[in-house]
């Protein structure tokens, strides 16, 4: 009970009219009455003696039941005081219930008032820590009270109408009775993992209301719903306590805690915690049951819930809650025209690099098309073939340009050199090379369609049916007038053109997202239900047909895309032949196809040759292998001499044991100052799955729950020495490598997309450690020291947000997380790990995980979710709050936002970067890399 509560009760009792006699020995006269509720207060009698007073309430009457003097020796005074105070706290809920009756009671108790006033003085001096522990006015307690809910997305009666509709649907065939197994679905918990939790919630409320059986009617369901959505914290806490207290004896045992931990862990897909439920149950009992009574009470559970240690978000200030509530005001009104104008200006400001490149490219294409169109409009061919030849030749000219540019967009060495060694990157968006590659591919497809259709469907038929007089104009180019269509098809121009169209079609189809990611596959025969109604003979034929066609599934996926893209070697060869055998152009200097392609093909060929030589000249040795949960393969390789790279860059890897020809890009997870190279490869396709299996076979079998791993040892004959050979080439530029341009960076990784961010985090940490060492050496030597690249290191603050849906993912970078927590003394790096499979903090389905997390981190310094020193957060971040906090912490600053992962977050992060850049003094530059 808090001091102000005691003072209020004292004032209420003073107003009573009748005074109860007070005996000299400290006992009060007693009136026995059957009670509905009892309130116990502990009163200080003197410096050494204490009394326990019990009041009885029935209806509007109030009476004293007993007063028991309690004495203790001097050695245990402090302990006795805390015990008494603890009992008072256990009954505080009953007190709040009885206050209204005390105010209207007709019996006065002045002596009791005096004693309670003395207790007020006592509570201010003794046991202040205990009282504070239950103070719900503190920020941590307030947050817990507001957040703790069973239904986080539905708030009380607001959601009852939807739930009522669902109840009517689910009970339409059961005479209005809702079965326990459908309770989860009815209240909105539709996930399979929620069913067990919902059933336990159903049982807890049923026990409280003495409802037997597995079905409830609508009135009972409404009562259940009101209980679940009750805003009163005590009510919600009582319900949660009842869920744990399965035998309804008012006490929670260690075995009951173990069961609810296992249930909560299963609901949140935390297999590691589920396996260690017994260990964590013992931890809770150790914290809340120091006297080893074998059980805990509801007030103990409340203490743990309300005053759990808060997350230590590195860099958060005390006024965080206030600045997050600050509203950012837009700089323009509600005028739609002004809004459109502002949005247009912002769009141009954010995308000017892309816009001018696209405008230049489209302008050049239009110019070439118009030039060829007008040129053939003035030739004799126009008299026979009309505008068809103009359209075909105009489209053909744009094809030459695009077939040249599309090669340059994948010349990674050239682009990396231009990015690193020149200032062209200021105006050219090299990060969008793959997107530009796709746009050009679409333009090529359109150009091929126009060129082929106008030739095959218009020009050639016109030549066949032209009158003799007009055709004489074409005899120098086509010879004697042909009599059949086959004449044009079998020519060099016809054969090469048709072959190019076929090869391009195959490459384009297999490069589409559906085929490249393997989403389009033939069903397995046993899974095809449509064959079931057929008769036996037809069914057998159908199954055999599907079985025969199953190998076609191997023609889709990344491997199919990779190999089919190499068909363009033949396409370019055919294009050169096609350009040299033109019908209407005989002069060699007018056959310009080779002119367009010469330089791009030479650059591309040199890059491929450099790749082959570099991978042979700079072989790598596998130093360490680990296969982590989530099908992630970590490779630590020797660093070739002269191999220099920047954090955020990627390199290509080839494993001959999987495929001697395929090279795949992966972000480098080691830092430039490390003496090794490392990559983390997640199995997301054919090649990545194959290389994981190859290395897994060479790893030593896991023991004692450890992951499969292998390390290089020249003198060891273990399987580690038989690891597959790996070749590399690179490095190549990536958006994240530009992080050093910013004083503040926001790094966002989704799943395996955290890999380039990990390299950046390690690089920042290594640079600051090196700067500290350099400063120490400078002070010792008493000189100013030599300036190094460390003096120009610009980044001073990094916010890293990593989201993953699997608990085992945290094992991938556990060492890095621990190093940051241990070595980052100045709080430069702020790490936020978010496990999205866990319900947000405050949800009853995750509240026990929050308690365990706080207890274990306080005791052992290790987070139970991630297994690192860095505390994990639940659910997804509120990105608007993240941007707002950074904007308020770093005004007048340009912040670099770097995202890597699937495209799902790109739109939101980019839009927020634009909004905050235009409405605050903090400017956000958004960069993304997706796969």
pLDDT, one tens digit per residue, over 244-276 is 888 888 888 888 888 888 888 887 788 778 888
Q: For residue 240, what pLDDT band results from cuts at 50, 70 and 90?
A: confident
Residues in the chain: 931
pLDDT of residue 758 exceeding 90: yes
For the stretch 443-461, what's the b/e string if a residue is b when 16 or more beta carbons lie within 10 angstroms of its beta carbon?
Answer: bbeebbebbbebbbebbbe
Integer Cα distance of 257 and 277 in angstroms: 8
Integer Cα distance of 727 and 652 in angstroms: 8
Average pLDDT over residues 603-610: 87
pLDDT of residue 65 exceeding 70: no
Integer Cα distance of 537 and 833 in angstroms: 57
Supply the CATH classification number for the domain 141-306.
1.10.238.10
Integer Cα distance of 265 and 271 in angstroms: 7
pLDDT, residue 583, reads 77
pLDDT of residue 118 exceeding 60: no
Alpha carbon separation from 215 to 150, 159, 189 (Å, rounded):
21, 22, 18
Q: Which of 163-172, 345-354, 436-445 is predicted most confidently?
A: 436-445
pLDDT of residue 398 exceeding 90: yes
Beta bridge partners of residue 61, listed in sequence order: 58
* Token code pair at residue 832: 């936020």
For the stretch 886-905, what's the b/e string if a residue is b when 16 or more beta carbons lie within 10 angstroms of its beta carbon?
Answer: bbbbbeebebbbbbbbeeeb
Architecture of the 619-714+721-731 domain:
Beta Barrel (2.40)
**Nearest alpha carbon to residue 17 among 115, 94, 113:** 113
Least confident among 64-73, 93-102, 620-629, 745-754: 93-102
**Nearest alpha carbon to residue 668 among 729, 615, 726:** 729
pLDDT, residue 330, reads 46
Contact 20, 64 (CB under 8 A): yes
Q: For residue 81, what pLDDT band results from cuts at 50, 70 and 90?
A: very low
pTM for this structure? 0.68
For the stretch 105-127, what's the b/e string if a residue is b when 16 or more beta carbons lie within 10 angstroms of its beta carbon?
Answer: bebbbebbbebbbebbebbeebb
Average pLDDT over residues 897-925: 89
Supply the CATH classification number for the domain 734-776+791-836+876-930.
3.40.50.80
* Token code pair at residue 808: 């085992």
Average pLDDT over residues 73-90: 39
Q: For residue 362, what pLDDT band results from cuts at 50, 70 and 90?
A: very high
CA–CA–CA angle 95, 98, 99 (5° rounding) = 90
- Which tens digit of pLDDT belongs to each residue from 23-44? 333 333 333 333 333 333 333 3
- Which tens digit of pLDDT belongs to each residue from 122-163? 333 333 333 334 445 444 444 444 556 676 554 444 477 888
Quickly count helices (H) and strands (E) in the chain: 37, 18
Domain ranges of the chain: 141-306, 361-520+553-612, 619-714+721-731, 734-776+791-836+876-930
The set of residues, in sequence order, having a beta carbon less than 8 Å from that of 44 and lying 6+ positions away, is: 50, 51, 115, 118, 119, 121, 122
pLDDT, residue 10, reads 47
Average pLDDT over residues 663-668: 90
pLDDT, residue 491, reads 85
pLDDT of residue 835 exceeding 70: yes
* % of the chain at pLDDT higher than 90: 17
Contact 864, 261 (CB under 8 A): no
Average pLDDT over residues 481-510: 87
Mean pLDDT score of the chain, rounded to an integer?
74
Integer Cα distance of 270 and 263 in angstroms: 10
pLDDT of residue 62 exceeding 50: no
Count the neighbouring beta carbons within 10 Å of the beta carbon of residue 361: 17
Q: For residue 512, what pLDDT band results from cuts at 50, 70 and 90?
A: confident
The set of residues, in sequence order, having a beta carbon less than 8 Å from that of 257 and lying 6+ positions away, is: 244, 281, 284, 285
pLDDT of residue 883 exceeding 90: yes
Integer Cα distance of 828 and 681 in angstroms: 28
**Nearest alpha carbon to residue 575 among 458, 691, 493:** 493
pLDDT, residue 115, reads 45
Integer Cα distance of 339 and 690 in angstroms: 53
pLDDT of residue 204 exceeding 80: yes
pLDDT, residue 356, reads 93
Integer Cα distance of 344 and 347 in angstroms: 5
* Token code pair at residue 608: 């491929």
Q: Is the dihedral of CA 417, 420, 425, 430 positive or negative?
A: positive
pLDDT, residue 402, reads 94
Do 141-306 and 734-776+791-836+876-930 fold alike per CATH?
no
Q: For residue 92, what pLDDT band results from cuts at 50, 70 and 90?
A: very low
- Which tens digit of pLDDT belongs to each residue from 850-870? 778 877 777 788 888 888 888
pLDDT, residue 116, reads 45
pLDDT of residue 784 exceeding 80: no
Question: Look-up: residue for tokens 């290509």?
Answer: 652
Integer Cα distance of 228 and 205 in angstroms: 9
Average pLDDT over residues 644-669: 88
């Amino acid at each position: 009970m808090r001091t102000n509560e005691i003072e209020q009760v004292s004032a209420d009792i003073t107003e009573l009219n009748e005074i109860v006699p007070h005996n000299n020995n400290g006992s009060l006269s007693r009136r026995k009455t059957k009670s509905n509720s009892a309130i116990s207060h502990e009163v200080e009698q003197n410096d050494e003696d204490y009394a326990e007073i019990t009041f009885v309430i029935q209806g509007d009457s109030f009476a004293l039941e007993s007063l028991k003097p309690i004495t203790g020796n001097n050695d245990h005074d402090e302990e006795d005081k805390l015990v008494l105070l603890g009992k008072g706290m256990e009954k505080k809920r009953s007190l709040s219930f009885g206050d209204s009756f005390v105010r209207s009671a007709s019996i006065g108790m002045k002596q009791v008032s005096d004693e309670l006033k003395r207790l007020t003085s006592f509570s201010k001096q003794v046991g202040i820590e205990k009282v504070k522990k239950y103070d719900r006015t503190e920020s941590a307690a307030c947050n817990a009270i507001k957040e703790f809910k069973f239904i986080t997305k539905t708030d009380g009666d607001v959601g009852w109408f939807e739930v009522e509709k669902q109840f009517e649907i689910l009970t339409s065939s059961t005479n209005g009775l809702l079965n326990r197994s459908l309770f989860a679905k009815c209240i909105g918990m539709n996930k399979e993992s929620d069913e067990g939790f919902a059933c336990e919630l159903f049982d807890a409320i049923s026990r409280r209301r003495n409802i037997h059986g597995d079905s409830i009617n609508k009135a009972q369901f409404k009562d259940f719903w009101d209980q679940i959505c009750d805003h009163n914290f005590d009510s919600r806490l009582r319900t949660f306590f009842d869920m744990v207290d399965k035998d309804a004896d008012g006490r929670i045992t260690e075995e009951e805690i173990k069961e609810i931990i296992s249930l909560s862990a299963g609901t949140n897909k935390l297999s590691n915690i589920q396996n260690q439920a017994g260990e964590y149950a013992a931890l809770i009992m150790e914290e809340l049951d120091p006297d080893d009574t074998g059980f805990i009470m509801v007030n103990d559970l409340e203490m743990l819930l309300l005053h759990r240690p808060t997350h230590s978000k590195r860099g958060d200030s005390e006024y965080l809650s206030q600045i997050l509530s600050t509203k950012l005001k837009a700089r323009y009104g509600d005028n739609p025209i002004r809004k459109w104008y502002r949005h247009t200006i912002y769009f141009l400001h954010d995308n000017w690099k892309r816009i001018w490149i696209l405008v230049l490219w489209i302008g050049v294409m239009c110019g070439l098309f118009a030039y060829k169109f007008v040129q053939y409009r003035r030739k004799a061919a126009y008299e026979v073939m009309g505008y068809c030849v103009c359209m075909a030749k105009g489209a053909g000219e744009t094809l030459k340009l695009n077939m040249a540019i599309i090669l340059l967009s994948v010349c990674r060495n050239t682009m990396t050199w231009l990015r690193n060694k020149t200032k062209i990157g200021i105006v050219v968006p090299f990060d969008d090379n793959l997107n530009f590659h796709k746009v050009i591919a679409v333009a090529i497809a359109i150009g091929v369609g126009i060129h082929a259709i106008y030739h095959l469907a218009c020009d050639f038929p016109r030549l066949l049916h032209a009158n003799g007089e007009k055709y004489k104009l074409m005899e120098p180019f086509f010879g004697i007038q042909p009599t059949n269509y086959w004449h044009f098809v079998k020519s060099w121009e016809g054969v090469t053109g048709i072959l190019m169209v076929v090869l391009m079609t195959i490459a384009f189809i297999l490069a589409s997202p559906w085929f490249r990611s393997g989403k389009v596959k033939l069903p397995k025969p046993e899974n095809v239900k449509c064959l079931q109604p057929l008769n036996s003979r037809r069914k057998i034929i159908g199954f055999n047909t599907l079985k025969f066609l199953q190998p076609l599934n191997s023609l889709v996926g990344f491997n199919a895309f990779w190999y089919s893209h190499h068909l363009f070697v033949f396409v370019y060869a055919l294009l050169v032949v096609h350009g040299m055998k033109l019908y209407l152009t005989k002069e060699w200097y007018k056959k310009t196809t080779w002119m367009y392609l010469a330089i791009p093909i030479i650059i591309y060929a040199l890059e491929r040759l450099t790749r082959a030589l570099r991978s042979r000249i700079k072989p790598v040795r596998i130093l360490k292998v680990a296969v982590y949960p989530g099908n992630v393969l970590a490779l630590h390789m020797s660093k070739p001499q002269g191999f220099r790279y920047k954090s955020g860059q990627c390199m290509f890897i080839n494993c001959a044991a999987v495929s001697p020809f395929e090279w795949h890009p992966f972000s480098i997870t080691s830092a430039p100052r490390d003496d090794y190279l490392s990559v983390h490869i997640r199995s997301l396709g054919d090649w990545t799955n194959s290389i994981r299996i190859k290395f897994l076979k060479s790893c030593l079998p896991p023991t004692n729950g450890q992951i499969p791993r292998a390390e290089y040892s020249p003198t060891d004959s273990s399987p580690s020495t038989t690891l597959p050979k790996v070749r590399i080439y690179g490095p190549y530029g990536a958006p994240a490598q530009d992080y050093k341009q910013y004083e503040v960076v926001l790094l966002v990784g989704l799943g395996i997309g955290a890999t380039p961010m990990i390299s950046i985090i390690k690089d920042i940490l290594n640079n600051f450690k090196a700067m500290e060492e350099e400063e120490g050496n400078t002070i010792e030597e008493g000189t100013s020291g030599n300036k190094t690249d460390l003096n120009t290191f610009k980044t001073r603050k990094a916010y890293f947000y990593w989201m993953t849906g699997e608990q085992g993912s945290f094992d991938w970078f556990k060492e890095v997380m621990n190093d940051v927590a241990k070595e980052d003394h100045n709080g430069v790096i702020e790490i936020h790990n978010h496990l999205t499979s866990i319900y947000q903090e405050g949800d009853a389905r995750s509240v026990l995980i929050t308690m365990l997390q706080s207890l274990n981190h306080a005791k052992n310094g290790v987070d139970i979710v991630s297994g690192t020193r860095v505390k994990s957060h639940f659910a997804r971040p509120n990105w608007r709050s993240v941007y707002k906090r950074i904007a308020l912490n770093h005004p007048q600053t340009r912040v670099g936002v770097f995202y890597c992962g699937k495209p799902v977050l790109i739109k939101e992060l980019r839009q927020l970067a634009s909004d905050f850049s235009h409405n605050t003094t903090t400017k956000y530059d958004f960069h993304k890399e997706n796969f």
